[in-house]
Chain A
Amino acid sequence: MIESVNTGALDLAPVWLTLKLSAVTVAVLLVLSLPLAWWLAFTRSKFKVPVEAVTALPLVLPPTVLGFYLLVFLGPNGPAGQFWNSIAGHPLAFSFTGLVIASCLYSLPFVVQPLQAAFESLDRKAVEAAWTLGANTLRTFFTIIIPQARRGFLIAIVLGFAHTMGEFGVVLMVGGNIPDETQVVSIAIYEQVEMLNFQAAEQLSTGLLVFSFLVLVMVYSINRQWGRGLKA
């Protein structure tokens, strides 16, 4: 029987790959989203609305649509794909790097929007108070703005991480199903089910479920404790 063949050795590689992808994606997104969210929160430019709309597009687009365009763009004949091929020697599509780029676009609104909301609700006077006390921009950012916007950061990190962990359509389009390179948990589960290997699928699913639940419980409890210091 097929079931009995695979039960013994559950392949954990997709799990590690998923965690790695989520972590890298969140890290890259934080760096990219910070200036974008800051700009969106404070700009009076007429481009604010179009930029906001573009940022939110991944929320409404079917992942396959996003995946399709990314595949065209990152694929061997796409501009980014060709460029990447010329410097790295392999195309972007169906590689971990390509997956990171796709995940970043896919999870962008989940990181930008909480950050933007956090910046918008910053106590401007506290920032100005820091300036009058001699703090430069960098010090103000790290000692006043980040602590004030910490909930926004936390929500951005968690949502970005969780959303990347759960992505399927985009990964399938852009990454395919290459073990150790692009085979994330959601794809692995799908594959196991296709192979009628329900036990492995169930183990992976349960693992993902428990992990997600624990992360969220941890985050909310931290958020609760931090919140106490903020309420007047």
Chain B
Amino acid sequence: MSRILIDVKLRRDDFSLSCELDMPGKGVMAILGPSGSGKTTLLRLIAGLEKADQGSIRVNGHRWLDTANSECLSPQKRKVGMVFQDYALFDHLTVAQNIGYGLPRKQRKQSVKKWVGRFHLESLEHRYPNELSGGQRQRVALARALAPEPDILLLDEPFSAVDVPLREKLRIQLQEIVSTLDQPVMMVTHDLEEARYLADHIAVMVNGQVCRHGFTNKVFNDPGSYEVAKILGWRNFIQVKSICPDSVAGDWGELVLDREISPNTDWLAIRPYHIRIANESQDGIDAEVLQVREMGALREMECRLNDGTSLVMQSPWNDPLLAPGSRIRLNLPLQHVRALFEGTAVNIVAKKKTMVIPISGIVYNSARNGAILPLEKHPSLTQERISNLTES
């Protein structure tokens, strides 16, 4: 069975981790999350360097942990290849000795030669780690981890020990390497670009829990919750106060929808490059231009909505320039608007939204206490909107 199944729980004094993951046993999976969210701990749990209180870990059919049956393989027996954050190379051993460390004595020489060749380290075999550049150290660490042919390769923040200018080069290099691997790769990172560039799948972790995981593009495009969206680099959020089947509204105004959205929706999100300035025939939200920033090929414009929410939009540099203070209407193309719920997981969010159910057009269903109330008592509906609803 070519899958990686993880279901572990761990509790420490000031931290708890509870994590369920089911992912394909091939390709690259990135674990994203803010620092302190438990990404590295999860990786260490998989490697066996940290002991879970309960749970199970299976990697491509091999059972590494099963607390129900008191099974827990030591790191030595798990066949993991781990590349540590600062590579943890053995400083007192040469490059060749480092790569050969995990290999049986008999096949050491031959195998080291193979990996040295594969990672273009031929001229460096007899050097010590402190005589290598950052990129070379990374290659040695990768070769050392891969030489014993592990069942899984774990990378802990593979680029954090490298200067920014070098990162891009190394990312390309690492991509070339991992794309040829038979083993699944799991990497921990807080760098969005890195995850997007390298990973087929991503899992987003917050406070010790995996909040969302799936194909990289899918998760990036539809983060599901406000918290995850923030981690994935979404910048524009509009708070939703009431939902009708055909529209959502807040203190910023109203947005007419082309489809139904979840009654759990608390926020709408949109990427800066999807926002347009509405023309006269289009729907739009009133806004005021706050600041214009030229960023080379792009121009970034920060706008303020009526409720004070700030939205950032990006447009090509040669679009007409608007002065700060101008009043505009922003068009949010519906196919690019994402509905998000507050918090990180659906089950922890009570349905607190006031749902407008225009049964008779004069009452609404308050989800707070389930009461049916006259529309006039609705917390955010304008008089104009109420009369519109009553008419329809």
Interface residues of A in 193-232 (CB under 8 A from B): 229-232
Which residues does chain B contribute within 8 Å of A131, judged by CB atoms?
A: 48-49, 74-76
The answer to whether A134 and B92 touch across the interface, beta carbons within 8 angstroms, is: no
The answer to whether B82 and A132 touch across the interface, beta carbons within 8 angstroms, is: yes
Assembled-state Cα–Cα distance A231/B89 (Å)? 13
Which residues does chain B contribute within 8 Å of A51, judged by CB atoms?
A: none
A148 contacts B by Cβ under 8 Å? yes
Assembled-state Cα–Cα distance A132/B80 (Å)? 6
Which residues does chain A contribute within 8 Å of B90, judged by CB atoms?
A: 126, 129-130, 144, 147
Interface residues of B in 77-135 (CB under 8 A from A): 77-78, 80-82, 84-86, 88-92, 101-102, 128, 130
Assembled-state Cα–Cα distance A232/B92 (Å)? 11
Q: For A128, give the chain B residue with the smallest CB separation.
A: B49
The answer to whether B130 and A231 touch across the interface, beta carbons within 8 angstroms, is: yes
Which residues does chain B contribute within 8 Å of A130, judged by CB atoms?
A: 90, 101
B47 contacts A by Cβ under 8 Å? yes
Partner of B88, one of A123, A136, A229: A123
Which residues does chain B contribute within 8 Å of A229, judged by CB atoms?
A: 91-92, 128, 130
Q: Mark A117-133, 1 if CB is under 8 A from B, else 0.
A: 00000010110111111
Assembled-state Cα–Cα distance A136/B77 (Å)? 10
- A136-B49 contact, Cβ under 8 Å, with A123-B88, A147-B92, A148-B92: no
- The number of chain A residues touching the other chain, given as a range, is 20 to 34
CB distance from A211 to the nearest CB of B (A): 30
The answer to whether A129 and B130 touch across the interface, beta carbons within 8 angstroms, is: no
What's the tally of chain B residues with a CB closer than 8 Å to chain A?
26
A135 contacts B by Cβ under 8 Å? yes
CB distance from A2 to the nearest CB of B (A): 56
The answer to whether B91 and A134 touch across the interface, beta carbons within 8 angstroms, is: no
The answer to whether B84 and A125 touch across the interface, beta carbons within 8 angstroms, is: yes
- A136-B75 contact, Cβ under 8 Å, with A125-B86, A131-B49, A229-B130: no
Q: Mark B124-160, 1 if CB is under 8 A from A, else 0.
A: 0000101000000000000011001000000000000
Which residues does chain B contribute within 8 Å of A135, judged by CB atoms?
A: 76, 101-102
Assembled-state Cα–Cα distance A29/B81 (Å)? 38
B interface, over-half SS: loop
Q: For B47, give the chain A residue with the smallest CB separation.
A: A132
CB distance from B82 to the nearest CB of A (A): 4
Assembled-state Cα–Cα distance A148/B128 (Å)? 14
Interface residues of A in 110-158 (CB under 8 A from B): 123, 125-126, 128-136, 143-144, 147-148, 150
Q: For B74, give the chain A residue with the smallest CB separation.
A: A131
CB distance from A197 to the nearest CB of B (A): 50
Which residues does chain B contribute within 8 Å of A231, judged by CB atoms?
A: 130
Q: For B75, give the chain A residue with the smallest CB separation.
A: A131
The answer to whether A133 and B84 touch across the interface, beta carbons within 8 angstroms, is: no
The answer to whether A132 and B75 touch across the interface, beta carbons within 8 angstroms, is: yes
CB distance from B328 to the nearest CB of A (A): 54
CB distance from B360 to the nearest CB of A (A): 67
The answer to whether B86 and A128 touch across the interface, beta carbons within 8 angstroms, is: no
CB distance from A43 to the nearest CB of B (A): 17
Which residues does chain A contribute within 8 Å of B84, judged by CB atoms?
A: 125, 128-129
Which residues does chain A contribute within 8 Å of B85, judged by CB atoms?
A: 125
Q: Which of B47, B85, B90, B148 has the most CB of A within 10 A?
A: B90
Q: For A125, give the chain B residue with the smallest CB separation.
A: B88
CB distance from A99 to the nearest CB of B (A): 37
Q: For B83, give the chain A residue with the smallest CB separation.
A: A129
The answer to whether A134 and B130 touch across the interface, beta carbons within 8 angstroms, is: no
Which residues does chain A contribute within 8 Å of B78, judged by CB atoms?
A: 132
- A133-B92 contact, Cβ under 8 Å, with A128-B75, A229-B130, A232-B130: no
Q: Which of B49, B74, B81 has the most CB of A within 10 A?
A: B49
Q: Which of A128, A134, A143, A229 has the most CB of B within 10 A?
A: A134
A-B pairs, 6 with minimum CB distance:
A133-B102, A125-B88, A131-B75, A147-B92, A129-B88, A132-B82
Sample of 10 more A-B contacts, CB < 8 Å, known A135-B76, A231-B130: A123-B88, A126-B91, A129-B89, A129-B144, A132-B80, A133-B148, A147-B90, A147-B92, A148-B91, A230-B130
10 A-B residue pairings within 8 Å (CB atoms)? A125-B85, A125-B88, A129-B89, A132-B76, A133-B144, A134-B76, A134-B102, A147-B90, A232-B91, A232-B130
Which residues from chain A sit less than 8 Å from chain B, CB to CB?
123, 125-126, 128-136, 143-144, 147-148, 150, 229-232
Which residues from chain B sit less than 8 Å from chain A, CB to CB?
47-49, 74-78, 80-82, 84-86, 88-92, 101-102, 128, 130, 144-145, 148
